[in-house]
Structure 1
């Protein structure tokens, strides 16, 4: 797993999600098209390129050239980044206590009966 220094800003994370969830390598124009379709806020080509350049500098994505356009592939797996963010959130917001996190979710009534059933299955599998 990459040794992350800090979380990605939301705009850069939006780019990473496009790259993670689509066939790679992917071009700048394709990233922009997908963001325009999926996002409430359209971004200019220049903004998308600036965000991509930041991700290259942070070594989250690699850049290659295909014909006249640049294409990008992830260097960081989504699973690894999600683990980093989850651990950071748990530590920062819940004192590294899963019990405190679960209590907050129960108290906010954000957990459905379906969620509880799924969690019970996960706990049973973990104990095996």
Structure 2
């Protein structure tokens, strides 16, 4: 977790994840900063972004600190922790907890490039050491 919080945040939706990505990149950020960053790709209004920020505060994924007439939002969970949790959830739910089944599925779907295979081989060699 980050920043000393022991409470596990609730599950983060896809929309909330988009907000988290901005906050991980621009830590801390105002609602306007987040809205500006998401406006091109998502077309969300400032009100929508503020709603998502409020949900993330309630889920203990971010904190809101007063800064004059606005709030600064800061992630309370690290991107790497979130990715680890979501990856485990995916492997558990879809592949019975077996990461090898995930890799086999990706290989069957021809979703792995030569570069991916090279990286996986290097990782396996490193893990065996």
Tell me, yes or no, if structure 1 residue 126 matches structure 2 residue 127. yes
Contact 2:28 2:74 (C-alpha < 8 Å) held by counterparts: yes
Question: Aligned residue for 1:18?
Answer: 22
Give 1:6 deviation, angstroms: 5.0
Distance of 1:3 and 1:89 partners within structure 2: 22
> What RMSD over aligned residues (CA atoms) do the two structures have, in Å?
1.4
Unpaired runs of at least 5, structure 1: none
Report what 1:99 is aligned to.
100
Uncovered stretches (5+) of structure 2, i.e. residues with no partner: none
Q: Across the two proteins, how many residue pairs are aligned to each other?
A: 125
* Structure-1 residue corresponding to 2:11: 7
Shift of 1:8: 1.2
* TM-score, normalised with respect to structure 2: 0.90
> Shift in Å at residue 67 of structure 1?
2.0
Q: Residue 34 of structure 1 aligns with which residue?
A: 37
- Alpha carbons 2:10, 2:59 under 8 Å: kept: no
Helix, strand or coil at the partner of 1:105: helix
Q: Is the 8 A contact 1:15 1:51 kept in 2?
A: yes
In the TM superposition, what is the alpha-carbon distance from 1:80 to its structure 2 partner?
A: 0.6
